[in-house]
Chain A
Amino acid sequence: MKSSLNKVVRIAALLGLVASAYPVAAHHATTMFDHAKVVTINGVVKEVHWTNPHVGIYVDVAGKDGAEAALWVIEMTSPGNLVRAGGWTRNSVKPGDKVEISMAPLRDGKKGGALKKVTIADSGKVLTADIRAQERANLEQEAPAK
């Protein structure tokens, strides 16, 4: 099954980090995702659920090298947090987009994970979801005109 992925699971230099250090969920801790691993998939976006408390992206990953095709679900934080911290809009990722997504995979082996980064193939745009990037006052305020 691993061969169905364009990039295989690899152990990242993230061992030891606690779940709370990840920005995925507004309403629950995230240790159901294995933050010591990174899975990268390439596929085509099927649906985007731009909803609270967590946005979800469904991605069709084609079968390859004899492996079955699969539909993956990638979870992330809330729409409001994505807009503020990640520069997202609800149309940043659209059905039909070819994407590369890296994620912390579900520990139970199901085809899901917590998003770390998405790259949109056509535009090359990269989006993340680090809500801790908001942790200072007066972000993005323009300097007063002189």
Chain B
Amino acid sequence: MNMKRTLTVVLAVVGLAASVSFAQTKPAEKPVVNPAPTAKDWADIGKLPDWSGVWNPNITDQDKQHVTNPPPWNAKAAARIQFQQAELKAGRPTPLFVNCLPEGHPSWMMISHNALEFLITPGRVTMLGESDGGRLRRVYTDGRGHPPDPDPTFHGHSIGKWEGNVLVIDTIAVLPQVYIAPSEAHGIPNGGDMHTQERIWVEKDVMHVYMKITAPHVLTKPYETTRYYFRQRARKFDIVEGVCSEGYFAPRLDKDGFHVFVPQPHDVGGNRIPPK
């Protein structure tokens, strides 16, 4: 009985101490909020360059730069690229992107064969791409900096600012597994700690995307390249939904007549396997 009373007293004291301690805790910092845009914010959008329309890549130039402007790989990466080149010539292209994970940054901007579009809203530029469902970049232009320890993602954390007609983007926190890919069959995982700086502008309906890619684990020095996209306004160019993994299924009816997807076998190269 005495022990029970003693325990009760001890718990009461501990509880009191805890409540006093809680009361003395520093109040939580006021959360950072994204303010609602004002009419002026929206009006200011009209002063920015017109990037409307759909932009399709200059694939011929991509192919050309694969030969004329290769990234400055370090020895280990260069050996892998050499192997991939041999595989390509042998008819076994390395299947870098057949798993339908996003091409990621900066490969999307470097080698996409698909169109993209831009949404410019107060404090932000959003880049939307076609073909794989995760092809999306959010570029914050509201003056914020990078978070101190952002979660790595396929497209990283991007902040931007407008310098006249040029959008300047700074990106960090790209997953180390994401490729720096000069072609669909050549690519090296960036290895982490990658930093990219971009300058994007439009001249005569051609978008110029200059990139400076710093990737200390795989490059000996920053890689600089400019990629090009053509503006289209014809409605047939409007971007349509593109779910990459849909191609890994075939539409069928189940035993009850419901429409379903069933897995479709593919080979290692990403092609449907012809029936025997």
Contact = CB atoms under 8 A, between A and B. Distances in A.
B113 interface: yes
Interface in B196-240: 204-206, 230-234, 236-237, 239-240
Looking at chain B's contact residues, the main secondary structure is loop
A26 B113 contact: yes
B59 A83 contact: no
A44 to B, nearest CB: 15
Looking at chain A's contact residues, the main secondary structure is loop
Interface size, A (range) = 35 or more
Contact of B269 (A18, A28, A47): A28
Contacts of B206: 137
Nearest to A109: B274
Given A136-B230, A138-B231, A54 B247 contact: yes
A53 B247 contact: yes
Contacts of A53: 100, 131-132, 242, 244, 247
A80 B244 CA distance: 12
A42 interface: no
Interface in B59-89: 59-60, 62-63, 66, 88-89
Contact of B271 (A47, A75, A78): A75
Interface core residue of B205, B230, B239 (most chain A CB under 10 Å): B230
B153 interface: no
B93 to A, nearest CB: 4
Contacts of B63: 18, 20-21
Given A53-B247, A140-B236, A79 B269 contact: no
B56 interface: yes
Given A134-B230, A139-B232, A28 B246 contact: no
Interface in A76-130: 77-81, 83-84, 106-107, 110-112
Contacts of A71: 274-275
Contact of B270 (A28, A136, A137): A28
Interface string B249-276: 1110000000000001001011111110
A81 B114 contact: yes
B115 interface: yes
A78 B114 contact: yes
B121 interface: no
Interface core residue of B58, B59, B62 (most chain A CB under 10 Å): B59
B91 A32 contact: yes
A29 B56 contact: no
A25 interface: yes
A31 B232 contact: no
A112 B242 contact: no
Contacts of B264: 49
Contacts of B183: 20, 29
Counting from the closest, the 8 A-B pairs by CB-CB distance are: A29-B185, A29-B93, A137-B205, A52-B242, A112-B274, A140-B234, A111-B274, A137-B230
Interface of A: 18-21, 23, 25-32, 34, 47, 49, 51-54, 56, 71-73, 75, 77-81, 83-84, 106-107, 110-112, 131-132, 134-141
Given A54-B247, A135-B60, 15 more contacts: A19-B88, A28-B97, A31-B91, A32-B92, A49-B264, A56-B247, A78-B130, A78-B242, A81-B113, A111-B274, A132-B59, A137-B231, A138-B230, A138-B232, A139-B232
7 contacts: A28-B95, A31-B92, A77-B113, A81-B113, A138-B232, A138-B234, A139-B232
